[in-house]
Structures are given as C-alpha cells and as structure tokens.
Structure 1
Amino acid sequence: MKKIKRLDLGKQWISQEKKILPSILKVLRSGQYVNSDIVEKLENKIARLNNTKYCICTNSGTDALTLGLHALGIKKNDEVITQSNSFIASAASIVHLGAKPVFVDIKNNQMIDEDKIQLKITKKTKAIMPVHLTGRMANMKIIKKIAKKNNLKIIEDCAQAIGSKYSGKYSGTYGDIGCFSAHPLKNLNACGDGGFVILNDKKKYEYIKKLTNHGLIDRNLCETFGYVSRMDAIQASILNERIKYLKSVIKKRRYIAKLYFEKLQKLPIDLPLEEKFEFNTYHLFVIRTKKREKLIKYLKLKGIETGIHYPIPIHKQQAYKNLFKNSLELNRTEKQAKEILSLPINEFLKKNEIIYTCNMIKAFFNEN
C-alpha cells in the first residue's frame, strides 16, 4: 500500500544532511551557542528577504507574538482583535500580557472578516492581530485603513505565511510588527522551536532585542525585566542553510496546489482558490467537506495521511472559558471547524502521489 505523508521531515533532513551538518559542527566547535553572530547573520537574511529594516530571532513563534505585543504597549485589560480559528498561541500571547483576545468571525477563505472588525472596537481596543493561515493573507489593505481610522496598532501573526504576498507586499510588512514561527512544521523550519519578528521601527527593535535577553544592556546592567527568548546558534545555523531552499520549497508547494485545483474540480468540496492579488505559499492545503470524518477514514485506508487545522476554535477551548465567561457567536468559524481537512502537501511529494490522492478523493465521492 502507498504511504503518502502530509509532511516528511525525515526525508527533508536526509536530503540536506550533508550541507547542514558542517554548519552545526562549526557552531559546536566554536563554543558560541548563545548570542552568536550566526543568529545575527540569519536576522540580516530574513530582514532582506522581507524588505524590512530589522529582524529579531526568538526561541518560538509564540514568543515572537508576545514580545511584539509588549513592544506595542499592550497591557492588562487591553483588548486585541483577532480570530478564533487559529492555533492556541495566537490568543495565548495576548492573554499572557493580561489583555483580552476579542474574536471576529471569518470569511469563506478562513481569514478574519475585515467587515466585522469595526463592530468589535471599543475604548479598550489597542491592536488588531490578523492571522495569515495556511500560507494566505488577510485583506491587509482594509485592515490597515481600519487601524489608521481608529488609531490601532497591527501585529501580524505570520506563523504559517513566510513569503506570502497580498497585492505585492510580503506578510508581516503591512502592520507595525510581523511575527513568524520556524517550528519544524513550517515552510522555513528549524529542527526545534524558533521564531522571529520583523519591523521597521528602530526603538521597538531595540526594545524587543533587550526583552529577548533578560532586558540586559550588557552582561551586568539590566534596564527592564525581560525574558529568555533567544534563538540558539544551532537552530540559526540550520535556518541559515534552509533559507536558501525557501523559494524552491514555495515553488513546489504552489505546483502541488495547482495539481489539486486541476484534479479536484467539480467535486462537492470547497477549494482554497487563489485570487489574482494573492501569492499563497501553501503551508497547508485545506479543503472543506461535510463528509470529513468519512473521507479521513477512507483516505487512511488508502495510505493517505490528512490533518485538521484546527478542530476546536480557541473560544471553545477550556483555557478560554476559564478566563472569559462571555458567550460568543462565531457561526462561520464553528461551521468551518467541522468541515476543514488538510491534504498532503510538502516539497517531497511526487506528481503521481498527488494524482493518486486526488483519484482516491474522487473515488470516495463516487461511492458516497
């Protein structure tokens, strides 16, 4: 039986091992494991990649969001508008500062519904956090207008969207701060946790930089109480190599998505179609079907791995209910959570494997 993985990290490592191992060994032999120039080298590469002035590497995408919110002045009892159909980290970063995530319902494409943001703005609202899910971006042109009109900050959750564009601009460059993850599952991935922040404001850059390292000015002087949120040199060395492959990774994922679009037409499923003004990087390829559970079981029997991102919206999680007693009506968010399904997509899949997957999906709907 065929075994088609949604993601294959082992195959990725084998293909890059000879190029990455020397970089890791170089770090280990140097003895410079923390605050290394290897990290600074990566920061410069990422800043150039996104056409921004500054980048700060962190130990995770979650910390990137938390420190970014810090730099925007978010504090206790403030409100940050975001969406509930995301990984828990989006809301957790807000809650950790004593602020409240205010959820807005989503559009058919899983992005935050910009037309509903204004209705959620109060005197306590300080920022908007759109989440660029699956490698596609929210309508940042409209969101930026809303933020300007209401004197709000924008922090973009770009964990799944490095290299994605909306009307020609990269993810993370529309708002005040863009926050990314380098978790092993991402398109630009470390062999452990990692993240980074991009921005153009020098003062905020210097502030976040200090926060990642205990708030220290130098080894002995502490200006503000900070965190330990540094990216270690080993992960940076891996990312310095893997960033060279990012464009080809995105190109292959877009090719796979094109095959899905061609082969899955006229089926009773919703496809993540790309608009002319979008450049989607397909961290995930998410379809929607009312027969999801049956389809998952069917594909599993055929050796095809799938996933759900995410089956339980944040406002339905116990962690949220424990803190906030308000009852929310997010109809589209809840409806989509019951229908979304992530199909296999990674740069190591072969054309015949995608065609096989599509044929099995067609066979399922012919039988059901």
Structure 2
Amino acid sequence: MKLVNTLLAAVACAVVVGCVSQQSHERALQDYEKSQESTIAEIERLQQAVEEKQTEVMQLQETKTALEHTVEVQDQIKEEQLAAVQQEVEDLYTQIRKLGNTPETASLPDPLFGGEPVDFHDLRAALTKIRSGLDGQIGRVSHLREENRLLEKELSALEARLKEVERLKHELEMVRKARELQEAQLAKVKYEVLTVGEEIDRITKALEANFGKSLVVTQHHDRLVLTMLGQVLFESGEADLTPLGLKIMKQVGKVLASLPGKSIQVEGHTDNHRIYGQLQKQYPTNWELSTARATTVLRYLIEQTGMEPNQFSATGYADRRPVMTNETEEGRAQNRRVEIVLYPERVVQDNETVATLAP
C-alpha cells in the first residue's frame, strides 16, 4: 500500500468534474516510471556487488583451507622436531651422568663416536657441539611456534571476514528479493493507476449531468473524494437530507455500489459559527452536528444500496478542517460540506466503528 501511495502521490491533483482525461493519467504513469530508474539502477549495482562478494568468498575459503593445511603441517613438524630434540636432550643427560663419575684422563667407549675409546677432552668437545646443535633446534622450534601463532591469528581474522561477507550476502539477497517484489508491485500499480483514472472519468460523467457544480470529484493521492456542499444536502442546523439531497445521494449510491472492494469514509464538516438557542439541546457544538450529518449520509447509503456496513465509517470534524477562510460567507459556504472518501482498501480504521467524534 505504501508503494501505491507513492505512485498515486505523483499523479495527485484536484480534479473538478469533467477535467480528468486518460492522457493525463498516462503522462503521470510515465513520470513515475522515470522516477524509478534511479532506484532500479541502485538495485542492479547491489546485485553486481553480490556476485563480486560471492567470488571473494570462494577465494577466501580457498585461502582458509590452505592456511588450515599449513597450520596442520607446521604442528606436525613442530611435534616431530620437539620429540627429536627431547630425545637428544635425554641422550645428552645420560652421557653427562655417565661422565659424572669418570676421571678426566680416562678413555671411554662412546657411542657417539662409533663405540671407539675416546679421550674425555674429546668427549667434552663433542658435548659442546651437541649443545650448540640443541640450541639451534630450540631456536627453530621457537620460530615455528611464532609462525604458528601468526597463522592462527590470520586464520581467526579470515574467519571473521568470512562471517561479515556472509552477512553482506544475506542482506544483498534480501535486496534482490525486494527488487522482485517491487517489480511485481509496479506492474500492479500500473494497472491500478489506469483503473483509478477510469473510475474518476466514469464517476464524473455519471454525476456531472445531473448535479453540475453541486458535487465535485477530486483525487488526493490514493483517495477519491466526492464533495457535496452542506446547504445542498441539509437545511441550516439540520441533519436530515433535503429532497435535493436525497436525489443526489440516490445517484451517488448507485455509483458507489458499482465500485466493489472499496473502503468508504463519510466526513462531516461545518463552518466556525457556534450553535445557539434551542438547537443546542440537540447539537451542543459543531462536533455533534457534523457527526450527525455524516452518519445520516452513511445510513442512507447502507440502507438504500445494500452495501456492506463494514465498508463504511463516519466521522465529524466540525470546523477543524476548512478548505477556505471562515472570514467570508463564500468561504463558510464551501466549508459546510460532506465528503465521501473512497480508499482502494480499508485503511480508514482497523476496528468496525461506524461513527466517531473526531477530536
């Protein structure tokens, strides 16, 4: 309904009887379609972004897989090297313990030198060499640990980026679906615009021949408004239809009955003159008078046309919504009116109230 409101706002104008043509509605539709071009272009740009992000996701997933494999290999190497180093350390400590009770001048069979007897000083030199190699191994293990830590950090950042890309993909998918919905709604709105134009032409032609300027049909956004002057429908201070008012309402009822699926709100309006004298007993203020007149029209339409009561609502606005100044008699005459407002759907109110006093 919001989309329909936006479209019909573009073609909104005051249409006096007989002044709306099919050509004007087609021109308004063309203007609306032009206004949609920028929106459609933006949606297409977002759709292109979806495709680019999908490619990026594939690349990131490949990178993630490669990093995970690298981390696994590095972990395996680290464990193997650590095991080798630990074994060398244990061997070294074993040799040291054996040497602890051996005089420096003794010659011992040393497995590190193929089982041949060696001098203790030669064995000490070999031990120094082993320690140097051990220090190198420990350094390499530390370097592998640091590389592993950086890889894990990079992997965590990659996973966070993947989550963000997935979120963006989801949002862009919603945009794509919204575009499809908009296109479907646009097709529907095109039809409704043409239909509204046809309805205006038909209603004006049906009413202008008999009532001239006593009844005016206008279009306001998504609404059609039938405006009838109060002095034509009612005597001053009264809420019963005059003979001419009955004649007008009979014809209006026929037109409304031919428009199924409409929500209809009857609105009563007055000028700003206060009610005096005996009339105050029945209508203390213009609120009560305007509501009574709207309710009279509503009841006539329901009883005489057989239309469903839940299509209708009635509201009195007193002098709160003037269309002209109340400083002149001409202006006050225009403000004393009854408006029948037609909506394409029931948007007047959610409940089934038939008559209300508008604050």
- Measured against the shorter chain, the TM-score band is under 0.3
The structure where helix makes up a greater share of residues is 2
TM-score where L is the length of structure 2: 0.25
Which protein, 1 or 2, shows the higher relative CO under an 8 Å CA cutoff with sep ≥ 6? 1
The structure with more radius of gyration: 2
